[in-house]
Amino acid sequence: MITLRAPRPGDYGWIVQRHGLLYAQEQGWDARFEGVVAGVVSDFVKSFDPAGEACWIAEHAGQPVGSIMLVRESDTVGRLRLLLVEPGARGLGVGDTLITECLSFARRAGYAEVVLWTQSNLLPARRLYERAGFVLEESWPYEGFGEGLISETWRLKFPAEI
């Protein structure tokens, strides 16, 4: 069973550490990626607005197995950030659970759409985004923390309420 909770002391450091280590091991990305993640986390903590922003930690058997954030991009646009699912928890529905909660919060917060940035080689994450209704909007070469990367912007527009 997967449970979601708000971050507790130490969780933001865990998000940075797990992203840095996991993506170095699985993708060969260098320390610049960990720096990007640390910057996202730092910005989130410094300017956190609970009316339009949130972070969730997924747990399984009492252990953290995933994370996701939603941050304010503008009054009408939320940005999904830092989706992570631990290798041992993949296939348990962690990613779907995190994304569903994130999008539900975005709707309640009044966002008209949610955008995200990812890399084309992260196929499992891309499948999760597609399943949630996101559409690939733009791609471009990116050498920010590894060679041969293709960055992507994905967008999900919520249906207008009648």
Distance CA 105, CA 34 (A): 26
Q: Which two tokens stand for residue 153?
A: 């912007």
Check residue 2 and give its pLDDT: 94
Check residue 3 and give its pLDDT: 97
The answer to whether residue 162 scores a pLDDT higher than 70 is no
Return mean pLDDT, the chain: 96
Q: Could you tell me the domains of the chain? A: 2-111+124-133 (3.40.630.30)
26-31: average pLDDT = 95
- Are 94 and 129 a contacting pair, CB within 8 Å? no
Check residue 63 and give its pLDDT: 95
| Residue whose C-alpha is closest to residue 147's, from 121, 117, 125 | 121
Distance CA 12, CA 158 (A): 29
